[in-house]
Structures are given as C-alpha cells and as structure tokens.
Amino acid sequence: MRRAALRLCTLSKGLLAPSRGLTQEPQNPENVFHIREVRDKLREIVGASTNWRDHVKAMEERKLLHSFLAKSQKGLPPRTMKDSYIEVFLPLGSQPELREKYLTVQNTVRFGRILEDLDSLGVLICYMHNKIHSAKMSPLSIVTALVDKIDMCKKNLSPEQDIKFSGHVSWVGKTSMEVKMHMFQLHGNDFSPVLDATFVMVARDSENKGPAFVNPLILESPEEEELFQQGELNKGRRVAFSSTSLLKMAPTAEERTTIHEMFLNTLDPKTISFRSRVLPANAVWMENSKLKSLDICHPQERNIFNRIFGGFLMRKAYELGWATACNFGGSRPFIVAVDDIMFQKPVEVGSLLFLSSQVCFTQGNYIQVRVHSEVASLQDKEHMTTNVFHFTFMSEKEVPLVFPKTYGESMLYLDGQRHFKSMSAPVTLKRHYVVEP
C-alpha cells in the first residue's frame, strides 16, 4: 500500500524547493501562512461563521453560490502545481505560547495534533488550486475522502523548535484531487524532513450534497509528470486493494494456511478436541487487546461545513490506537506509518462517537492497530461505521504474538498483516523517539 515507512523523505524534485529558514523571503507571500491563519482562511473562503448559532444562516447563503459551479471540467481554467503550493509555519520555538496545545507530559510533540493540522492544510491546498478570483467565496465544498499514507522519516520532534508544513496538489481527476504534503522541523539554520503525507480530497457542491468539478492540472516539467503518474498509480493501487478486500474475497491459499497453522498451534495437546484452545508461550488472544472510548461531538469540534472536523476524528482514533499499543507492548510506542483511512460517512454535530481499538497483528517490535469508528445520534440508537483507521507502531522491546480465536478475528489478523507487509523496508529502532499522542 505504501513505500518504505521511515525512509528518508525527499521533496518533489524540481518543484518549488521550499525556503530553508523562517527569515528567507518567500516566493509568494500570499501562499505563506501561520498555523493560526489556516482555519481563519478556510472560514473566509467558504463564508463560515465562528459562531455556532449562525451556521444555519451561513449555509443558506452558500446556496447562492450554485451559479458559480462549472457545468463541466472543460469550462474551468487549468492550474499548475505551483498555483496550489503553500507553506504553513508552526513556530513552537519562536512562539512558546503555542506549545501547550502540542505538548505531552513527556515534553514531546502530540502527533494527534499534527494529524489535525495536516487535514486542514490539505483542504486549504485544494482551495488554492480551485481559486476563483472573481468570487469572494468558493462555491466548492472540499472535504477529505482518504488518508492514503503518512510515512514518518525522522525520529526526533522537539516541542521547542519551529515546524514547517508545505504541500501542493499532485494529481487531479474530475471531482477529486491528490495532495502531497511534507513536514519539516528546524535544526540549526535548516529545516529537516519529518514526514510525507498523501491525502485524497473530493469537491462537492456549495451545499455539500453532490459532486462538483475541479480545475484541471497542467504539468510543466518531467518531475511533475512523474508526480502525476504516481497519482494515477496510487488510484489504481487503491482500486486493486479494494477489489481483493477480505470483505469481498476469500483469503489467498497462503493466508488460509497461515490461519490454519495458528489454529493448530492453539489446540491443547492433552486433548483431542477442536474446542480446547490454549495460548502458546508469549502470546495474547486478540480479544484481550481491545480498548474502547466514547466521545460526544460538540460544536467546538465542527469543521467549516458544520460537521465534525476530520482531523479531530483522526486525533481521537490515533490517541486510542497509541494507548492500545502502549498497553499491549508494555512500553511507550512510536508511530511508524498511517495508511488507508477512508472517510465513509460524515459525522454530525451532537453525535455519539464510539471508537474501538484492537491489536490485529504483531511481528518483532511492531504492533499493527486497527481503530473502528461508529456514530449514533441521540435520537437514533442505530450505529453506523464512519471510519476505519490503520496505524503501525513500534515498541522499544519485542511484543507478544497476537492470536485470533474466531473466523472474524482471523480476517482482522490477515487484514492487519496485509497493511503491515505494505511497508517495503524495516525500521531501525532508536530509543528516544518523541512523537506521541
């Protein structure tokens, strides 16, 4: 599903090499933001109010923007990757008052907060790509459809050094866009790579009720053509991965053999029975690796379209997943990779958010955690799945094996194994990794 996690992150070759310090003059000041300006800019673009009581009026005003929607993609002016390129600064070092929001008790950076920032950044990048100069507000409602992958490539994140994000649209379909984002942290006079992220965003109409066309993309160099081609390959890979999902197709012969061997390893040798199960040494039943949480979705956590902010959902899922890995491994784990987070349904303000986290695969020091998200309204007790999150953690020490008991758990195990195997290179553990919830 993704390239080597924790590999050395590199910027897109030849594509607007970002400034190497906070004092360097930006190429376009209009495309450089302070982290506090991002949400304000998004509210300005869509005409959202900061007052919850005004949200109905604001949404009514957006209905008037329907006339600005294109009837086809051909009617929209093409844009370059440079048009959507932005930089966002999180000056934790030079503005210490920002630190508390991002600080853990261990004096490290909360990765859940970084997920929130990436989600907002991805939306803003897409609005820059689809900017209409003749209109004050955008007629598009742009939302996160998928977190394709987030690969960590640096182990030291200090809450006392400035952070910079950069990103741009790298692929465009008719109504969807792929966004490449990078995160850096200041060390000395240079910004060093921290992570690479790929998000897929979709454009909806002004009332967020149906799809809307986005501006086509012009490629200006062989490097940009390569980026665009990678976006095409990513789309094909996602389609292929979905078509072979264990929810649709039976496991492969190799996977069936794996599950059967695990079943045989849990049979009690003292009895001749399929029902008598015992755990092998240094192993845990999968059902005993669960943690759950419940959140009430208050208006404070709403996005610019008055639904629950996707970054908030990712942060809550990540923090529960981290706690699950910590509880299972017996030490403070660090995040290696995030991938394949599909936003299946929006979460309405006032909903009850149920999160269920479970270790579904382990190997050596690695812990693969799956977090399932459901919502229920206060009036309707029916639960609906909104997201499934996949996190790969690494513990400071070797962790127990996890064994499924039921067929359903066996499918979770195989699914976790597939996500884990998508990493194409091993991770070298260092003792002081400082990215935590």
The residue-averaged pLDDT of 52-70 equals 78
Q: Please, is 117 exposed, middle or buried when counting C-beta atoms within 10 Å of its C-beta (0-12, 13-18, 19+)?
A: buried
d(CA 26, CA 46): 26
Please report the pLDDT score of residue 109 as a whole number.
92
- Residue 275, number of CB atoms within 10 A of its CB: 7
Return the residue matching tokens 């002016």: 77
Q: Rounded CA gap, 413 and 416, in Å?
A: 5
Two tokens, residue 298: 């208050």
pLDDT at 433: 38
pLDDT band at residue 98 using 50, 70 and 90 as cut-offs: very high
83 or 154, which is more confident?
83
Contact of 196 with 150, CB cutoff 8 Å? yes
Q: Is the predicted pLDDT of residue 157 greater than 70, yes or no? A: yes
Structure tokens at 208: 């967020």
Question: What CA–CA distance (Å, rounded) separates 358 from 24?
Answer: 46
**Beta strands 109-110 and 86-90: pairing type?**
unpaired
Q: Which residue has the tokens 């100069």?
A: 133
Instruction: Give bridge partners of residue 151 from the DSSP assignment.
Output: 196, 337
Determine the pLDDT at residue 18.
39
CA-closest candidate to residue 349, choices 300, 387, 388: 300
Residue count (the chain): 437
Instruction: Please tell me the CATH superfamily of domain 35-243, with its number.
Output: Hotdog Thioesterase (3.10.129.10)
Identify the pLDDT of residue 413. Answer: 96
250 pLDDT tier (thresholds 50, 70, 90): very high
What is the residue-averaged pLDDT of the chain? 86
pLDDT in tens, 396-437: 899 999 999 999 999 999 999 999 988 744 444 333 334 556
Secondary structure of the chain in the HEC alphabet?
CCCCCCCCCCCCCCCCCCCCCCCCCCCCHHHEEEHHHHHHHHHHHHCCCCCHHHHHHHHHHHHHHHHHCCCCHHHCCCEEHHHHCEEEEECCCCCHHHHHHHECCCCCEEHHHHHHHHHHHHHHHHHHHCCCCCCCCCCCEEEEEEEEEEEECCCCCCCCCCEEEEEEEEEECCCEEEEEEEEEEEECCEEEEEEEEEEEEEEECCCCCCECCCCCEECCCHHHHHHHHHHHHHHHHHHHHHHCCCCCCCCCHHHHHHHHHHHHHCECCCCCCCCCECCCCCEEEHHHHEEEEEEECCHHHECCCCEECHHHHHHHHHHHHHHHHHHHHCCCCEEEEEEEEEECCCCECCCEEEEEEEEEEEECCEEEEEEEEEEECCCCCCCEEEEEEEEEEECCCCCCEEECCCHHHHHHHHHHHHHHHCCCCCCCCCCCCCEEC
What digits encode the pLDDT tens for the residues 295-336?
Answer: 999 988 888 788 888 899 999 999 999 999 999 999 989 999
Instruction: Give the residue range(s) of CATH 3.10.129.10 domains in the chain.
Output: 35-243, 246-424
**Which tens digit of pLDDT belongs to each residue from 352-380?**
999 999 999 999 999 999 999 999 877 77
The confidence band for 7, taking pLDDT boundaries of 50, 70 and 90, is very low
Residues 391/369, Cβ–Cβ less than 8 Å: yes
Asked if 378 contacts 213 with a C-beta cutoff of 8 angstroms, the reply is: no
pLDDT at residue 17 in the model: 40
Superfamily of domain 246-424: Hotdog Thioesterase (3.10.129.10)
CA distance 91 to 111: 16
Enumerate the β-bridge partners of residue 183. Answer: 165, 195
Q: Is the distance from CB of 196 to CB of 8 less than 8 angstroms?
A: no
Of 134-138, 179-183, 419-423, the range with the highest mean pLDDT is 179-183
Question: Which pLDDT band, with edges at 50, 70 and 90, does 24 fall under?
Answer: very low
Q: Which residues, at least 6 apart from 41, have a Cβ–Cβ distance to it below 8 Å?
A: 33, 124
C-alpha–C-alpha distance, residues 83 and 169, integer Å = 9
Contact 137, 46 (CB under 8 A): yes
Higher model confidence: residue 433 or residue 92? 92
Q: State pLDDT tens for residues 205-227.
A: 988 889 999 999 999 999 999 99
